[in-house]
Amino acid sequence: MIEVASITYGCQWDGSGHVKAWPMRISFGAQGPEATVDQMLEGQGYTMLLIDQLVELVSGMTPMETPIQLGLGRPPGLARKLLERGFYVELLQH
C-alpha cells in the first residue's frame, strides 16, 4: 500500500489567457490523519492505495496529455505503470 498525501494541479495559462489545470502533482507520505480518497483530494489527510488503484484514479481524473509529476517517496514501479498508460511522467527531486 502507498501513502498518498495529495493529488493537486499546477496552474498555468494557455495562449489565449485561459487558466488550465496543468500538471498533475502527486505527493506521498502520511501527512495528517488517514482519510478517504475524496477527503485526501480535498486536502484533509492522506489515503492508502495500491499502485494499480492509484494508476486507475489518475487515469480517471485527467486526460493523457496532462503531465504527471511524482514527488519524493514515490513507490518503485509507479512511473513505469503511468508511462505504460501513455502519460508523460516527471520525477520531482524536491
Bridge-based pairing of strands 47-49 and 68-70 is unpaired
Three cell numbers, residue 17:
489567457
Among 16, 1, 9, CA closest to 46:
1
Q: What is the residue range of 82's domain?
A: 2-91
Q: What is the spatial distance between Cα 80 and Cα 78, in angstroms, rounded to a whole number?
A: 5
Q: Tell me the sheet residues that pair with 20.
A: 12
Q: What is the spatial distance between Cα 73 and Cα 61, in angstroms, rounded to a whole number?
A: 22
Tens-level pLDDT at each residue, the chain (94 residues): 999 999 998 776 667 777 665 789 999 999 899 999 999 999 999 999 999 999 999 999 988 888 999 999 999 999 999 999 999 999 998 7
Specify the number of domains making up the chain. Answer: 1
